[in-house]
Amino acid sequence: MRYAQYAKKTKHLIFSSDMKDSGWENAEIADGDLKKIFEEIKSNPGKNIQIVGGAEFATSMIDLGFVDEYNIFLEPVIRNGKSFFHNITSKFKLTREKVESLDNGVVVLTYLKQNGK
């Protein structure tokens, strides 16, 4: 519920080549050069940008160097899944910022990208 209240007043940008209308007044559809769009967004003043998406989208954002902070959730479950990192062609050095253990057994690892590559 707290996230819903936050999301309601936060601008959202949806990347899609198919969708024409999000049906939500706070969402804008973007289609085009991902790098140019994000360079423009990051050049504007404002707070952090949160990226939510599947492995392919996340890989694109990481490879373009747009991810500055990684919050990796380690769940105490072993299963098949798609790696966010298997198709990365760039290399970035990270610095551990924080390690947090949650009551449900999940460990949250927070890393910050070092300046440069």
The CA distances from residue 29 to 12, 23, 37, 91, 92, in Å, are 9, 10, 12, 30, 29
Domain assignment present for residue 17? The answer is no
pLDDT in tens, 10-29: 888 888 888 888 888 888 88
Residue 60 belongs to domain spanning: 53-113
Total number of domains in the chain: 1
Domain assignment present for residue 40? The answer is no
CATH number at residue 92: 3.40.430.10
pLDDT in tens, 87-103: 888 888 999 999 999 99
Domain assignment present for residue 46? The answer is no
pTM assigned to the model: 0.69
